[in-house]
Structure 1
């Protein structure tokens, strides 16, 4: 099993000092990975409820948000072995040629530690702000992944598609990881899970009731098998959004119990996000230390 933690990149914890301290402390504690999410707006009157749920308010902490890839690059400079992931980057907000260059740079500078996690997000306001159409997000994501793979694997890059056009060119350097950094996709509907099986190296699930998670996991495994993919290659780092609780022991036990259920289901990667569960950095580090100790102790 592999255990990660969210980098302090949003809300009150989004400071240079916190990124350095949490990165170093998490590696010393034995965490396997650091993760960021992506948010570019916190509208006063949003077009869509939080997570796509009508009327659901966005967490107030999302008003402050570091650029996820810059934050990971800074964390990479202060760590040696932890993998660096996104759950999930709003992939369609970035031109794929530029996204490929940024992720390649991070992969090289980190010594080949990038997990490229992509999603299509849920708020139309953010698409409007970056002048990207909301319509046909799935098709645009398919082509974005095709462009990234072409740039990362071909000596002469050329692409002529519905959304992007690249004349024959060289694009160097290539990522350190070959053939390319693992591509992980957020997905919750059957067509999206089928996209994971066709295009990606893994899935980005989030904490949900166990029956729901089991259904989606089994659906994905069936799609993975149908696509002729090797079962052992399927990854699924699951985000656990830890809820606020005044009792650290209760917080740790509840989170560890859920992680164990996830492992029993056959998903062997989780990471915890403590950004909304804690009010101080010492509290965050205390819970992080307790959590990994409890999980590793069985």
Structure 2
């Protein structure tokens, strides 16, 4: 299992100093990847529950840096580590603009980008960017269609209900073909991953639930005539390190690492550790990251 880190982006970590230190040191320590998320605002009276914990939006999300800018800076500070989005709220962006931003990062990083996309969970954020909450799944599918056309055809022509791109040159293109990973847990979201993505973005779920959902992805890939073995499962973990707690969401490093090792044995290809909810500062984040990596690497060597 590859091990990645969430890049400093929100709360007390929303600074160039934190990002610079963690990006450089993560690469030097041998981490496989750096990932960013996508939050726009924190409603005072949210219409929707946050999909985690007790349903309350984490206080740290009140300060959140732009994901494209963060990855661009990370690209300039590193040379090997992969850069990913986990996940961009795809429906917020017009596809030509989204394609341009992601292609720029891929070009500037020498082809190190993993494109993770999702639907998001906050209707308040959709309203703020003027995008309808209803029919968002159809908009999502259309966004994926448009990105495919923009990235992989030349000249580009796209004619859909939501957007029209007249026959045009849209360059540069990405370096190669950036992997596209999709989030989601509903049956249709899982089947979408199998039908058209390179992998699935998931979270710290009970192992039996995780494997059941992954089976749905693999079956959908087979039904679509695709190779299930080519798909990746990327798990984002947001643990709070405590003396007690309830792993995998909280607890001591060894116990949380035990869950992640079990997830690896169940088929997870990459784990993204987001330690911004528990670390005190960037040096502490790197210290915790090193502890996790030691436990995860030791288990891998033992197997």
TM-score normalized by the length of structure 1: 0.95
Aligned mates of 1:137, 1:255 — CA distance in 2: 35
Aligned mates of 1:267, 1:225 — CA distance in 2: 19
Q: CA deviation at 1:246?
A: 5.2
Deviation per CA, 1:74-116: give whole Å up to 9, x if none: 0111111111111110111111100000111100100100011
Give the secondary-structure state (helix, strand or coil) at the position aligned to 2:214. helix
User: Residue 168 in 1 paired to residue 164 in 2?
Assistant: no
Aligned mates of 1:273, 1:52 — CA distance in 2: 14
Aligned mates of 2:173, 2:262 — CA distance in 1: 38
CA change 1:189–1:131 in 2 (3 A) is: same
8 Å contact from structure 2 (residues 241, 253) kept in 1? no
Aligned counterpart, 1:203? 200
CA change 1:266–1:226 in 2 (3 A) is: same
Aligned mates of 1:70, 1:46 — CA distance in 2: 27
8 Å contact from structure 1 (residues 9, 36) kept in 2? yes
8 Å contact from structure 2 (residues 20, 77) kept in 1? yes
Aligned mates of 1:269, 1:244 — CA distance in 2: 20
Aligned counterpart, 1:213? 210
Aligned mates of 1:51, 1:165 — CA distance in 2: 34
Q: CA deviation at 1:222?
A: 1.2
Aligned counterpart, 1:230? 227
Aligned counterpart, 1:255? 256
Aligned mates of 1:238, 1:52 — CA distance in 2: 15
Give the secondary-structure state (helix, strand or coil) at the position aligned to 2:84. strand
RMSD: 1.4
Aligned mates of 1:129, 1:207 — CA distance in 2: 29
8 Å contact from structure 1 (residues 52, 123) kept in 2? no
Aligned mates of 2:107, 2:117 — CA distance in 1: 19
Q: CA deviation at 1:282?
A: 2.1
The 5-angstrom pairing of residues 16-31 of structure 1 reads: 16-31=16-31
Aligned mates of 2:151, 2:74 — CA distance in 1: 23
Aligned counterpart, 1:67? 66
Aligned mates of 2:133, 2:196 — CA distance in 1: 21
**Count of residue correspondences:** 293
8 Å contact from structure 1 (residues 142, 199) kept in 2? no
TM-score normalized by the length of structure 2: 0.93
Give the secondary-structure state (helix, strand or coil) at the position aligned to 1:40. coil
Structure 2: stretches of 5+ with no match in the other structure: 245-250
The 5-angstrom pairing of residues 67-216 of structure 1 reads: 67-177=66-176, 180-216=177-213
Structure 1: stretches of 5+ with no match in the other structure: none
Aligned mates of 1:49, 1:186 — CA distance in 2: 18
Deviation per CA, 1:148-167: give whole Å up to 9, x if none: 11011111111111211111
Q: CA deviation at 1:52?
A: 8.1
8 Å contact from structure 2 (residues 6, 273) kept in 1? yes
8 Å contact from structure 1 (residues 52, 122) kept in 2? no
